[in-house]
Amino acid sequence: MFHKEGHKIILITLVLVVATIFAIDYLVQLEWLRKTLMLSVLAVFILILQFFRNPKRHTHANEKQALSPVDGKVVVIEEVFEKEVFKDKRIQVSVFMSPINVHVTRYPTSGKVTYSKYHPGKYLVAWHPKASEENERTTVVVENGSFGKVLYRQIAGALAKRIVNYAIVDQTVQQGADSGFIKFGSRVDLFLPLDADIKVELNQKVKGGESVIAEMK
């Protein structure tokens, strides 16, 4: 299954791949070179398909747990001052996505969307210290009974050129449901209450909609 954000790109890429293969077959005379070029074109197409895949996830909804919004690797766990919405200290857990990870963003908790804002910006590498403040990004806050307000931020990376965010203020959302997409490499920051019990470690690989990031004590 492929994410709806990739349908147009996949179709355009398929047309280009077919046209390119026919062109290579017609123009390139050397057998080894012709096969190498064709395989290279097919490899690019396979990478595009892999990037836009949208595998089914088995989310076990739990109001006292915050799940990972995305697939990737935990690269930050620290106490920070969140200055856009809360203007106080929170625990930040950041997950970095490589181009080969699933790039669907999912709601970390169920609840009501109280904030949703898009910020245009730069395209610094996703692990850059200033990426969360200067890169293209969206900020979404979901409120529920156990965690109160949980903020997650989609951050574009050096390769990402478009962030898709489906969260609408006052909308009631379900934990693990599709909340958006980031195209071609990125990071998601999760901001949790200071009394949240963090269940992941640095460099741990996580799955969106399944891996538990934190629990309320």
Active site residues: 186
Side chain identity, residue 102: V
Side chain identity, residue 173: V
Residue with tokens 């147009």: 8
Side chain identity, residue 70: V
Q: How many Å is the Cα radius of gyration of the chain? A: 19
Question: Nearest to residue 201, comparing CAs of 62, 59, 68, 90?
Answer: 68
Question: Nearest to residue 194, comparing CAs of 78, 110, 111?
Answer: 78
For residue 57 the two structure tokens come to 């996830």
